[in-house]
Structure 1
Amino acid sequence: MAYYHGVKTRQIETSVSTPVAAGSGIAFVVGTAPVHMVGGKTNVPILGNNYNEVVTALGYSDNWEKYNLCEVMYSHFKLYGVSPVVFVNVLDPAKHKKVVPAADIDLVEKKAYLPLEAIKSTVVVKSEAGAGGTAYEVGKDYDLFYDNEKLVLEVLDGGTILESTTKLNIAYSEVDSSKVTDAEIIGGFNVETKESTGFELIDKVFPMLGIIPDIILCPGWSHKAEIAAIMSSKAQNINGIFEGKALIDVDTTTVKHYADAPAWKRADNINSKTQILCFPMCKLGNRVFHMSTQMAGLIARVDTENGDCPCESPSNKLMQIDSAVLKDGTEIAIGLQEANFLNSNGIVTALNFIGGFVLWGNETACFPANTDVKDYFICVSRMFNWVSNSVILTYWSRIDSKLNRRLIDSIIDSLNIWLNGLTSEEKLLGGRVEFKDEENSTTALMAGKAVFHIYMTPPSPAKELEFILEYDANYITAALKA
């Protein structure tokens, strides 16, 4: 030991760890966006914290039929005011496009208007057909910019385009979102390029962005059986260890009556605890939304109001809609009996009964086949996912530490303190952790394996309140006889 003369100090690690709570209500959305407007990326997870940020990264159009990611942008940021959201665009302007032959287009006040789908870099401008075919140069003779669902060509002063010109001959290529296939939405891993695409990119979110998306969305595509199955598979195995929920829409082009929705659900095999099934679509003003989109925003808002914890059901909370509709915009009225019928078959819907339109339903898609409360109640199941994800984040740093009594006691103490805190905040009815002898054999401990048993009871939603009314004749005696 080296010679020392004086006072000194040293620090040791705190025996009780501060828990790291997983984020909650963070959506992971796969689909298409007009990225050609902004030079946006394809098959790269884009984190959006506000509307302007994500529009700058991916572009925006009100044509949600072609660009479903824009529907989620509008709903999350403008209607529900929640963030973040992770977007994956699979539309590739270099691949999903078609050539538009050259044609004469009118100039109006020195401007020509092309569709939003026109790819700016492909535009070729010449003089009107039959007028010599003079080629014009961008930046010198004209400029191009996207505005109000159009690509605008503006003639520049000082260029070679004459003031008297009334038409220009313009050719270009335009993006074609209809060429995006189911396989490209599903994605996978390319052995040659070593790159992931589509839903496979959910495993890249935590390593790249440091957050765990726990809500998986794909409005406009999720009604397809194969895509719904992939979404469910990803939700139960994010990065191999985390868990979430997949929001699925019933196909309202084929299911036009509420009573037909359970049969569609069975036919498409939507029956997992990781799936939440929605029917029908919904509308606000002239905008038609998939219900899964609105539900994702509502879930995020309710979680945020509860301190980023999914302890409360999104059911019976106000949605940002004014009607329930089919895909073609046909309005349908769903009363309480119809809504409860859907709920009894594991389908969430919208109900306008008292106080405006609310989300109505507490059950995941596994109901009624699975009646385990931790699986079929949305908020209870999500609490189990959230606690599981939080425990992994908190104790990952303890992996490969010395497996001794100090480590075991530290984990037990810190977890019990955290669970007690959740109980005092009424996010749990109770919770505790135990290190049980029967679950930790000597050989397992020798192999470095320790099992901690967490007991927890999230509050169930108050799904049914019954009030019994009885006529009490004794009040006559009390009120009328001296």
Structure 2
Amino acid sequence: MAYKHGIDIVENPTSLTPPITADSAVQVVVGTAPVHLSENISGVVNQPVLAYSLAEAQRKLGYSDDFNAYTLCESMYASFQLAAVAPIIFINVLDPAVHKTAISAKAVSLANGEGIVEDSGVLLDTLLVKSGASTLIKDVDYLVSFNSYGKPVIVKLSDTLADNASLTVDYDKLDSSLVTAEDIIGGYDAVSKSYKGLELLKVIYPKFNVVAGTILAPGFSHLPEVGAVLQAKTKKINGSFNAIALLDLDTTAVTSYNEAQAWKNSNSYNSTHAVALWPKVKVGDKQIHYSALMGAVMAMVDARNDSVPHESPSNEVVAISGAVLADGTEVYLDQAEANHLNGVGVTTLLNWNGWKTWGNNTAAYPNTTDPKDRYVAIRRIFNWWGNTFILSYFDKVDDPTNTRLIESIVDAENIRANGYAARGQIAGARMEFRSDMNPTTDLLDGKIVFVQRLAGFLPAEHITNILEFDPQMLTSAIFGGAS
């Protein structure tokens, strides 16, 4: 070892940008994960998994760039790498006990004592390695582990094996193509007494004390039966909370902007608590569904506003390479075409000095023009305000119904509203307790009612500058300086 005297400099590789948190836009993503790469396969099937970083998500669920097979990885990539936002709650429905395919007698050739099983999704606990007719013993004859590409590497231990031996392997592999819309929708399993799929939404707050802000299922939300359930699940989660669903239109059926309205209407993508999105997104050679990107964008916008969702997620620059259909066909819309989609309640992408999100309307537009149900920003501020009220005053349930209780809630809410109004995050809010809304019969029944008026700022969706020629200016410019 060299003798050291002086000063040394050692450079570490650049770390990933630490994610910022947005409590108002916590994503609940339902789909498939490469659980064969996770630390505990059995613990992540139809169980909500909370992650604050890509490393944590990778450890708990596995990670792969094969987004077609493993849809949860789209949101991992979009949120943790493209937008650097957290947290996310993942629900994996890919079950190794059900969604699998058996592979027999696949050839593996060793080179210098090592060989790679050229396949992905391999369930290591099912792997049988054979030399001729003999079955080899793991950890005695060989070691096996995944490489950085998620493929098993067999390393010989026994001297009875040649360094260039020819082996065969039998194994089961994950088959995400077997996952159906019914798996995503889920339900209650009476045998195991457990919830599955989207039904696990009701487990999230009791388990994590985290309120879902957005619900999405990239890779599946374009299926009408999944879209219908996603829309239904946004209201009264746990009997209390409201959220927004992010829905992809089917880019195999909707191949042009002028086909979106008919598909959206015929498949009832029209909830006031949903955002309809078209087309898909390309980042380099990767494709991801727009819902995965929009979930990340909403969290990013909220995070820079102290988790107050008052700002529209439209006209936000996104780090993507393009907009595409499922078959890879690139989509370029001019502003008029993009505005046509907005006019039928579809949010799209516009390449205007860089790719940007484009659209302020919920999926309910144009069937509704009520601002709280039409605009995404207003719908989300109402969701967040109501959810926050529930969380803030739940401890007061069952307190004595007296003046102190009533005044404490009214005063606290009006002070809270004044603070957000002073910061320009809402136009205003005002709470009242009115006698005409609280008859004696209700008070005797232990029920009290408050009324609260709330106004958020609408997005400046269209700005007009009227230009007019002024002849007087021309005359002044020519003759004004003449003597």
**Superposition TM-score tier, normalisation by shorter sequence:** over 0.9
Q: What CA distance in whole angstroms lies between the structure 1 residues aligned with 2:112 and 2:349?
A: 48
Equivalent pairs counted in the alignment come to 455
Where do 1:370-389 residues align within 5 Å? 370-389=368-387
Q: What CA distance in whole angstroms lies between the structure 1 residues aligned with 2:430 and 2:154?
A: 68
Aligned to 1:82: 85
Contact 1:217 1:248 survives alignment (8 Å): yes
- 1:29 partner amino acid: V
Q: What CA distance in whole angstroms lies between the structure 1 residues aligned with 2:351 and 2:37?
A: 39
Shift of 1:164: 4.6
Shift of 1:297: 0.5
Q: For 1:235, what is the secondary structure of its paired residue?
A: coil
Q: For 2:85, what is the secondary structure of its paired residue?
A: coil
Shift of 1:184: 1.1
Shift of 1:112: 2.1
Aligned to 2:458: 460
- 1:456 partner amino acid: L
Aligned to 1:61: 64
Stretch deviating more after TM superposition (100-109 or 294-303): 100-109
- 2:53 partner amino acid: N
Where do 1:394-409 residues align within 5 Å? 394-409=392-407
Q: For 1:24, what is the secondary structure of its paired residue?
A: helix
Q: What CA distance in whole angstroms lies between the structure 2 residues aligned with 1:192 and 1:137?
A: 36
Shift of 1:116: 1.9
- Quick check: 1:450 aligned with 2:448? yes
- Quick check: 1:141 aligned with 2:141? yes
- 2:174 partner amino acid: V
Aligned to 1:13: none
Q: What CA distance in whole angstroms lies between the structure 2 residues aligned with 1:108 and 1:326?
A: 42
Q: What CA distance in whole angstroms lies between the structure 1 residues aligned with 2:84 and 2:164?
A: 47
Q: What CA distance in whole angstroms lies between the structure 2 residues aligned with 1:153 and 1:319?
A: 38
Q: What CA distance in whole angstroms lies between the structure 1 residues aligned with 2:136 and 2:64?
A: 29
Deviations 1:290-347 (A, max 9, x none): 1111111010000000001100001001112121100111111111010000000000
Q: What CA distance in whole angstroms lies between the structure 2 residues aligned with 1:278 and 1:44?
A: 27
Deviations 1:359-394 (A, max 9, x none): 000000000001100001000110000000000000
Deviations 1:139-176 (A, max 9, x none): 1221111123343233234x144235431121111111
Aligned to 2:174: 175
Aligned to 1:107: 110
Where do 1:71-470 residues align within 5 Å? 71-114=74-117, 115-128=119-132, 133-157=133-157, 159-353=158-352, 355-470=353-468
- 1:103 partner amino acid: K
- 2:48 partner amino acid: P
Deviations 1:417-458 (A, max 9, x none): 000001001111111101122211111112111111111110
* Identity within the alignment, %: 39
Q: What CA distance in whole angstroms lies between the structure 2 residues aligned with 1:394 and 1:388?
A: 10
Q: What CA distance in whole angstroms lies between the structure 2 residues aligned with 1:190 and 1:103?
A: 37
| CA RMSD of superposed structures (Å) | 1.3
Q: For 1:79, what is the secondary structure of its paired residue?
A: helix
TM-score using structure 2 length? 0.92
Within the candidate set 43, 53, 60, 1:50 is matched to 53
Q: What CA distance in whole angstroms lies between the structure 2 residues aligned with 1:335 and 1:111?
A: 54
Q: 1:360 to 1:161 in 2, by over 3 A?
A: farther
Q: What CA distance in whole angstroms lies between the structure 1 residues aligned with 2:407 and 2:331?
A: 58
Shift of 1:289: 1.2
**Structure 1 unaligned spans of 5+:** 1-21
Shift of 1:135: 2.2
Q: Which gives a bigger RCO, structure 1 or 2 (Cα 8 Å, sep 6+)?
A: 1
**Structure 2 unaligned spans of 5+:** 1-21
Stretch deviating more after TM superposition (362-371 or 182-191): 182-191
Q: What CA distance in whole angstroms lies between the structure 2 residues aligned with 1:161 and 1:416?
A: 80
Shift of 1:288: 0.7
Contact 2:214 2:244 survives alignment (8 Å): yes
- 1:434 partner amino acid: E
TM-score using structure 1 length? 0.92
Contact 2:101 2:175 survives alignment (8 Å): yes
Q: For 2:151, what is the secondary structure of its paired residue?
A: strand
Contact 1:97 1:176 survives alignment (8 Å): yes
